[in-house]
Chain A
Amino acid sequence: QVQLQESGPGLVKPSETLSLTCSVSGGSTTTYYWNWIRQTPGKSLEWLAHIYSSGYTNYNPSLRGRAAISVDTSKTQFSLKLNSVTAADTAVYYCASGYGFFDFWGQGTLVTVSS
């Protein structure tokens, strides 16, 4: 069974770049789609981006070009960078696997944007 674990700073200053990494175990990042999803306090879920092992990516247009997703197949990790963050980017960020639906999820990591 695939297991995912997010890591990254819990606090980011406004206008800076949020960087998160998802470590994958029990599976290979050389196949399949890898996703980032966030959940803002008291609100629903928002899909942010996905990447296939070939490097094919797609992003939610709501991010307005601020995001970059990458995969390191040698380390079985994938990452998300989100620049020019504001308080609106404060959320629990999840990594997840799947295309069409999300079958395995990390436990989530809270990122707070504040000075």
Chain B
Amino acid sequence: EIVLTQSPATLSLSPGDTATLSCRASQNVNTYLAWYQQKPGQAPSLLIYAASNTATGIPTRFIGSGSGTDFTLTISSLEPEDFAVYYCQQRSNWLYTFGQGTKLEIK
């Protein structure tokens, strides 16, 4: 099973800042990596798929990058609604795993 390690666990920033979230895979996942945002009491929602493709309706301030084992989600000019928990997820053959999440909180 491929393990995804997200860092940091918590990121404290202010609106207008740029957030950089990391996801590291224990094995090569090529670009089979997605990012999700989850707000309290809600289901996760897809932000990025195939490492760098933005899902429909997602603002351009969300940018995904990386391949192989190291991936980054960059959120520029943070808006108040961006403060949430972010998860990465990979597909290895037919087995999917998620990272443990990064909580983006208001400083």
A and B: interacting chains: yes
Interface size, chain B (Cβ < 8 Å): 23
The reply to whether A94 and B46 contact each other, CB–CB distance below 8 Å, is no
Count residues on chain A whose CB falls below 8 Å from chain B CBs. Answer: 20
- B99 and A102 contact, CB distance less than 8 A: no
In the complex, whether B67 has a CB less than 8 A from a CB of chain A is no
- Asked if B44 and A105 sit within 8 Å, CB to CB, the answer is yes
- A101–B42 Cα distance when bound, in Å, is 18
A-B contact pairs, 18 of them (CB 8 A): A45-B44, A45-B87, A45-B89, A45-B98, A47-B95, A50-B94, A58-B95, A61-B1, A61-B95, A99-B91, A100-B32, A101-B34, A101-B46, A101-B50, A102-B44, A103-B49, A105-B45, A107-B42
CB atoms of B55 and A47 under 8 A apart: no
* Min CB gap A72→B, angstroms: 22
Return chain A residues, CB-CB under 8 Å to B97.
47
Residue of A nearest to B32 (CB): A100
Q: Give bound CA distance, A10 to B42, whole Å.
A: 17
10 other A-B residue contacts (CB within 8 Å) besides A60-B95, A101-B89, A102-B89: A44-B98, A45-B44, A47-B95, A47-B96, A100-B34, A101-B50, A103-B46, A103-B49, A105-B43, A108-B43
